[in-house]
Amino acid sequence: MAIGWIDKVLNKTDKLWYIKSKNDINNGIVESAHLKLQLDDCRFHVLDPRTTYEGEWCGIPLDAKGLHYKEFATNKQSGIALYVMQTKQGAWVEFKSTRTEKILARQDLPLGKEFHCHIRIETNGFYVDILNATGDVISHASTYRYNEENQSWVPDTIDAVAAALKQAA
């Protein structure tokens, strides 16, 4: 089973972002040099601009029919929900708009393995950097955008997916 852990959240923008965790377990903590955010309350917490947060027991939950997710947002009315999906054929992080409830994109994961990642919010996009065992970013993780018209996954570059995700937030 692919279990995900957020080791860092990096808000590299000049804007406030928000984080919310909706899960039964492993909501976790994100902590900067000045602030410790306990995510067990299912409420939005402010991610300050130009700030790095260390994650502790900060899980990316398995999909449970929309009941479990981590949400990142630029406002409290709409954001990006992310959660793990897994089948016999593969595992991925899936991204959904919390405003429209539409699936936006996905990023492949190593099948059946625990993984660690960094959430990186840049001026040009929202990234999930999947890490290997030595803590380096796996640069070859495939990314896809969801084509609602055809109800199919279309391969796309990580930068194009990140830009679309940031726009949805």
For the chain, 169 residues long, the average pLDDT of each consecutive 10-residue run is 88 97 89 95 96 96 83 94 89 93 91 86 94 81 90 92 91
Question: Cα–Cα distance between 71 and 81 in angstroms, integer?
Answer: 4
- The reported pLDDT for the residue numbered 25 is 80
Q: How many CA atoms lie within 13 A of 45 on its CB side?
A: 21
A 10 A CB-CB count for 79 gives 26
User: What's the pLDDT score for residue 89?
Assistant: 82
What pLDDT sits at residue 69?
92
| Cα–Cα distance measured from residue 43 to residue 142, given in angstroms and rounded to the nearest whole number | 31
Which pLDDT belongs to residue 32? 97
Q: How far apart are CA 54 and CA 155, in angstroms?
A: 31
As for how many domains the chain has, the answer is 1
Show Cβ contacts of residue 117 under 8 Å, excluding neighbours closer than 6 positions. 4, 5, 6, 7, 60, 93, 128, 129, 130, 131
pLDDT at position 112 is 67
**CA 168 to CA 99: how far, in whole Å?**
9
Place of tokens 């919310």: 20
- Domain limits at 18? 4-168
Whether the Cβ atoms of residue 136 and residue 46 lie closer than 8 Å to each other: no
